[in-house]
Structure 1
Amino acid sequence: MVEQQVLRSRRVVTPEGERPASVVFAAGTITAVLPHDAPPPPGARCTDLGDDVLLPGLVDTHVHVNDPGRAEWEGFASATAAAVAGGVTTLVDMPLNSVPPTTTAAHLDVKRAAALGRVHTDTGFWGGAVPGNGADLKALHDAGVFGFKCFLVPSGVDEFPHLDREQLASAMDELARFDGLLIVHAEDPRQIDGAPRPGGRRYADFLASRPPAAEDDAITGLIELAAERGTRVHVLHLSAASAVPLVAAARREGVRLTVETCPHFLTLTAEEVPDGATEFKCCPPIREAANQDALWQALADGVIDCVVSDHSPSTVDLKHRDTGDFATAWGGISSLQLGLPAVWTEARRRGHTLADVAGWMSAGPARLAGLDAVKGAIAPGRDADFTVLDPERTFTVDPARLHHRNPITAYAGRTLHGVVRATYLRGTLVAAQAAGDPGPARAVDAPAGRLIERPTGGS
């Protein structure tokens, strides 16, 4: 007989909002959401969470695991342990920074072999669209990737070249044939080539080298091509709020366009980045406070669809903290374990609710990946993926205590609201606070995650 379990809380975040409830699940699936004081089913094991908030497990569709080939930068074991410790139960791995990149079905097999048996989360994969692999895209789609990433500017690694406009149009034509999803690092190379060259320790100089116009022009070009071809397009890691009106107008005209932003753009500002602090370097860059305000407004208005980490780690030496030179340092923010508390810290200050955060960080990414029938909400029929959060407790980020493989992050020393007390994946406890430790949860030893594919018949 299948054991039933119940998680009871006075604060359960459901698609209808936050309310007291008892959530019943069995065999990895939610079977009922009952009133808080409803008697548990006969024989069910009941855990009362009190005032801790029960959230749907987060879905992070933008993670660079870098495994195989650059596993010293991160790796499946460490990345997914960090994920569940931060309340993330499902992630989708980016196709670059691993060697080989996920640009053919054979390379996807290599990636899956590296991940098998080592993941604490349910883990899927993006494919890559690069010059010359148009004939490989349908095979990757049929093999279960969730979509295809491309760059419009150099990616930072030689094995994953960017597309020029003609190559981009060709890839979009091919994806439109089978309704594949193109996800795009949208910066225009002409704007970047015409901007001041980065160099040295001044963050202001680095910021000037990646102007908002680079994002605006790239997104304008994407919209034009998507409108002509009907291709589904998703803009990755939107940093420049100046592009928000372009996105809103395109949607009104029927363009199939979605957009994400990231915790670092919502919680960190250019004004606070010290010179030489290369742990803050990412592309596109962290911009000014006024830009951040506009991103939050776009989230509130529903123009930005989701918030995902863009966890892009490296070894400490590649950040060049010794010189503090933004031009030569690796660009990427390590934040996979910290996204929920970082976003909640700023969201609560701005008057948003945990239901809002769940919509941005769980339901939205699940919808993007076509997983919304099974992930992203506390509702009957969905996977029993849960995050238990103490929303008022604070902690100070110590990089050495994170599961990230390399102890460097832009959040070091910051005090954040929201301690993840436990994480469940399909009903299994995969992260929990250590006995007597009031700090964030730690991943359990045994990986319980599965390798997942784009749902059959889904987009």
Structure 2
Amino acid sequence: MGDLVVRSRRTILPDREGPAAVVVTDGRITAIRPYDAEPVADIETDLGDLVLLPGLVDTHVHVNEPGRTEWEGFASATRAAAAGGVTTIIDMPLNSLPPTVNTAALRAKRAAATGQCHVDVGFWGGAIPGNAADLPELHAAGVFGFKAFLADSGVPEFPPVDRDQLAAAMAAADALFVIHAEDPDHLHDAAGSAAYADFLASRPADAEHAAVATAIAVARETGRRVHILHLSAASALPLIAQARADGVRVTAETCPHYLTLDAGRIPDGATEFKCCPPIRDAANADRLWAALADGLITCVVSDHSPCTPELKRRDTGDFAAAWGGIASVQLGLPVVWTAARERGHPLAEVVSWMATRPADLAGLPHKGRIAVGADADLVAFDPDATFVVDPHALHHKNPVTPYAGAALHGVVRTTWLRGRPVTGAQPGGRLLLRGER
């Protein structure tokens, strides 16, 4: 007997979509049986034609606590994640104070998160100038890898690395390095302008292209794994394809906003659309979708990077002065699903992009899939239901989103974390360590 059985006529399994009964014991999936199998658990839940998905894994989330908790915090970010069908997040090392660049900072981050999390939470470490010697100890302490910026991060306590500093960091730790890839020599000043076209021109595709080339070259020299974060510029895709063909261990992600928003439709002064790298045009998005379909881009994650409304500078509409980040951890699934279904992609592909592959990137084989032995992180999803985004109905701490008023397909009905429904009332998430089961 299990503790729980969840049945659905549309269960997304690793090899198929179909009817199944998922048996859960002590928080893990212990069997996958026919949909109409005899009752075998204390609690039986029949979803009928609602889709049963694995919980999504979002490896790119800025929680910002401690230090900038007014921007976001563990309680609000993880409540929003669960509401959006995300059951595991990996927190980025910057925007919190202190940034996660040594073991003392990791302890502070874990202490701040303890007892607040509604989903499971892991942590990236940070590579900044001068901390290469700290990276082996920080990696051993359980971070999932190291983030580095090749251009200004937006916060002074997390400065960018140059090529030599990146190489030193990669040489110091046998770890996954995740890279914000924009080259500072290709960025321009658009201060004072409320025109989105000026902001876009200030961060051209060439900046991503050059920085991706640098990251690949250092990965080639050191033999380390490198992952290109939030790829926006499709012009960099051939570089990644050639490097992979050459045996370089390089992967790339993109984000919902790069796949679904169009630079040509962004009003001047609408700084809720600002992110770095920037949203580009529809033709560029088409190329990103093609790269997802053929596996060159491996996953879709939120880059949830919120701030207070004041920091978005809607009073002036100055894109250069506004904080660059889009808060979307709660909306990623319906945003991507709405666009994917229009392009003919099945829901199973969305699950691969947003659950299985991010879990694989982070080394979490027990996450992001409905399989025997995996954690019972499950989502009841209605793919045909629609809703209109109301920023004030979101669980993000600050109700700022470029998706306000958008009509989306796909509603999360229930999220289970290790077999228990996440209600948002009682935190039940765990703090994850790399390599720990």
Shorter-chain TM range is: over 0.9
SS at match of 2:39: coil
Contact 2:12 2:18 in 1 (8 A): yes
SS at match of 2:278: coil
Q: Distance in 1 between the 2:98 and 2:131 partners? A: 14
Q: Distance in 1 between the 2:336 and 2:384 partners? A: 13
Post-superposition Cα deviations, 1:13-69, rounded to whole Å, max 9, x if no partner, equal: 01012111111111000011111112122x532111011100000000000000000
Q: TM-score, normalised by structure 2?
A: 0.98
1:436 aligns to what? Answer: none
1:380 to 369, 372, 379: 372
1:107 aligns to what? Answer: 105
Q: What are the residue-to-residue correspondences of 1:1-400 with 2, within 5 Å?
A: 3-41=2-40, 43-175=41-173, 179-192=174-187, 195=188, 197-372=190-365, 374-400=366-392
Q: Distance in 1 between the 2:102 and 2:215 partners? A: 24
Q: Distance in 2 between the 1:450 and 1:49 partners? A: 27
Q: Distance in 1 between the 2:401 and 2:374 partners? A: 33
The code of the aligned residue for 1:410 comes to P
SS at match of 2:235: helix
Q: Distance in 1 between the 2:50 and 2:261 partners? A: 27
Post-superposition Cα deviations, 1:397-445, rounded to whole Å, max 9, x if no partner, equal: 11111000001111111011000001000001004xxxxxxxxxxxx20
Are 1:454 and 2:424 matched, yes or no?
no
Q: Distance in 2 between the 1:198 and 1:217 partners? A: 23
Post-superposition Cα deviations, 1:102-158, rounded to whole Å, max 9, x if no partner, equal: 001001000000000000010010000001111110110010000000000010000
Q: Distance in 1 between the 2:180 and 2:162 partners? A: 12
SS at match of 1:216: helix
Post-superposition Cα deviations, 1:139-180, rounded to whole Å, max 9, x if no partner, equal: 1001000000000001000000000111111111112xxx21
Structure 2: unaligned runs, 5 residues or longer: none
Contact 1:391 1:419 in 2 (8 A): yes
2:394 aligns to what? Answer: 402
Contact 1:199 1:205 in 2 (8 A): no
Q: Distance in 2 between the 1:280 and 1:406 partners? A: 15
Q: Distance in 2 between the 1:354 and 1:159 partners? A: 40
Q: Distance in 2 between the 1:285 and 1:350 partners? A: 23
1:435 aligns to what? Answer: none
Q: Distance in 1 between the 2:425 and 2:265 partners? A: 37
Q: Distance in 1 between the 2:92 and 2:27 partners? A: 27
How far off its partner does 1:197 sit? Answer: 3.1
The code of the aligned residue for 1:51 comes to D
The code of the aligned residue for 2:258 comes to F
Q: Distance in 2 between the 1:66 and 1:5 partners? A: 35
Q: Distance in 2 between the 1:282 and 1:171 partners? A: 26
SS at match of 2:380: strand
1:412 aligns to what? Answer: 404
Contact 1:61 1:91 in 2 (8 A): yes
1:440 aligns to what? Answer: none
The code of the aligned residue for 1:116 comes to T
1:434 aligns to what? Answer: none
Contact 2:163 2:218 in 1 (8 A): no
SS at match of 1:44: strand
Q: Distance in 2 between the 1:421 and 1:4 partners? A: 20
How far off its partner does 1:12 sit? Answer: 0.3
Report the number of matched residues. Answer: 437
Q: Distance in 2 between the 1:197 and 1:342 partners? A: 30
Contact 2:2 2:23 in 1 (8 A): no
The code of the aligned residue for 2:27 comes to G
Structure 1: unaligned runs, 5 residues or longer: 432-443
The code of the aligned residue for 2:11 comes to V
SS at match of 2:57: strand
Contact 2:229 2:254 in 1 (8 A): yes
Post-superposition Cα deviations, 1:192-229, rounded to whole Å, max 9, x if no partner, equal: 1xx46353111011000110011111111111111111
1:421 aligns to what? Answer: 413
1:441 aligns to what? Answer: none
How far off its partner does 1:4 sit? Answer: 2.3
Q: Percent identity?
A: 64
